[in-house]
Amino acid sequence: MCERTVRTSDTMADVDFPTPEETATAIEPTTLRSRIEEGEAITILDVRMGSEYEEWHIEGESVEAINVPYYEFLDDDIGEDIFESLPDDEEIVVVCAKGEASDYIAGLLKGEGYDAVNVAEGMNGWAEIYEAVEVTNYDGQGTVFQYQRPSSGCLGYLAVDDGEAAVIDPLRAFTDRYLEDAAEHDADLVYALDTHVHADHVSGIRPLAAEGVEAVLPAAAIDRGVEDTDVLTAAEDGDVFTVGDVEIEAIHTPGHTTGMTSYLVGDSLLATGDGLFVESVARPDLEAGDEGAEDAARQLYETLQERILTLSDDVLIAGGHTSDAAEPAADGTYTAPLGDLRDEMDALSMDVEDFVELILADMPPRPANYEDIIATNLGQNQIDDEEAFRLELGPNNCAASQDSLAGD
């Protein structure tokens, strides 16, 4: 048989894979996403190393995920226990980092009589899925769309009205997408607003600034040591950015970070960044560190009680992230009226001491590469697009643990 050399991931050496006798069909990541969203039962065989799989993998209520590292399929005599772990009466969706090792293994499985398909471009392809969903429950001026990135749970927002648009929490990987989407709605993208210095993804405000868009970062975030202040507009508490007839008000909401700022869109939707989510609240340690987490948690409590919960119950809360614990609204967005969260989330009705104890009790691991990502978003690291994409692969982990935050 002929052989081809491929690199299966950044952490693996080059591996020679023989060409399998059978050729597997490729499934596009967007197609797989749609099938999962429709509740179809899916068996996924992830052939990355166990550490990569544990860090992040494709999940869903209808998904059964199996992890068997690729090298176990390279032995001349593959163990029978491997085949016994795989269903022989249903389709197996094989995925790796970039779609190369999984292509070989899916073909090998087909040769063994399994119904196997390969995820095109692997987990990298999964990370490129980025969907815009209209927030139909928004009743303010203009139209608001929620951007959803299922691989990481990152959410962003596009507000459009009367020929102008603003994007909130843009990702560098999708810079062109925001410009194209604004144009599709006959609008010019005039603002790119970040809620804070992100720790889980590389911001898109700087490349958008290079395209003539006004890039906005909270003033308190700039004070953390941003080096390229000449290309940024500082947003102070109470500042208003106008898009068509839509007013977007900056509301300083510290806690997750000192600079965290929410944006009240049309008096009807609060883009909270990483302050408040529909299923959780922020973790307080990514800027403050372990030693400052308690004080940051107290600041978050004050923010929630005095700056967010004082708003109308009808205001839609629209966070910067989502997780498997979140339930989408009827329109498919991860938004919820503030009144509903007030009634359902125990953390919002606790006293300060109980709140702080709960938030600090069980924080998840910090986002992968978060220190490098923060430095990049401060303008201190100059990296190319490929490196930026690699740094943010994986889950966001910007929320406190969801296990005990919501009510019964």
Looking at the structure, do residues 364 and 221 belong to the same domain, yes or no? yes
Is 398 a domain residue?
Answer: no
Residues 209 and 277 in one domain: yes
Do both 167 and 77 map to the same domain?
no
| Residue 273 is assigned to a structural domain of this protein | yes
**Domain that includes residue 20, residue range:** 3-126
Q: What is the CATH number of the domain that holds 66?
A: 3.40.250.10
Say if residue 104 is in the same domain as residue 156.
Answer: no
217 and 94: one domain?
no
- Residue 404 inside a domain? The answer is no
Burial of 227 (0-12, 13-18, 19+ CB in 10 A): exposed
Residues 206 and 252 in one domain: yes
**Domain termination site, one of 74, 101, 126:** 126
Of the candidates 2, 96, 154, 398, the residue annotated as catalytic is 96
Same domain, 295 and 159: yes
138 Cβ neighbours under 8 A, 6+ residues apart: 144, 265, 266, 268, 269, 316
The backbone region for 316, taken as left when phi is positive above 0, alpha when psi lies in -120 to 50, beta otherwise, is beta
Tokens matching residue 179: 């410009």
Residue 259 shares a structural domain with residue 356: yes
Q: How far apart are CA 118 and CA 294, in angstroms?
A: 46
pLDDT recorded at residue 3: 30
Chain segment 74-96, per-residue pLDDT in tens:
877 787 888 888 998 999 999 99
Looking at residue 398, its pLDDT comes to 79
Quick one: 81 and 98 in the same domain?
yes
Predicted pLDDT of residue 99? 93
- 281 DSSP 8-state letter: B
pLDDT of residue 4: 28
CA diameter of the chain = 69
- CATH number of the domain bearing residue 328: 3.60.15.10
Tokens of residue 38, six digits:
């429709």
Asked if residue 173 and residue 212 are part of one domain, the reply reads: yes
| Residue 407 located in a structural domain | no
Whether residue 276 is found in the same domain as residue 197: yes
Low-confidence stretches of the chain (pLDDT < 50) are 1-13, 404, 406-408
Cα Rg of the chain, angstroms: 22
Rounded to whole angstroms, the Cα distance separating 343 from 349 reads: 8
**Would you call 154 a catalytic residue per the annotation?**
no
Task: Tell me if 146 sits within 8 A of 136, measured CB to CB.
Answer: no
The domain total for the chain is 2
Q: pTM of this prediction?
A: 0.91
* 122 and 226 housed in the same domain: no
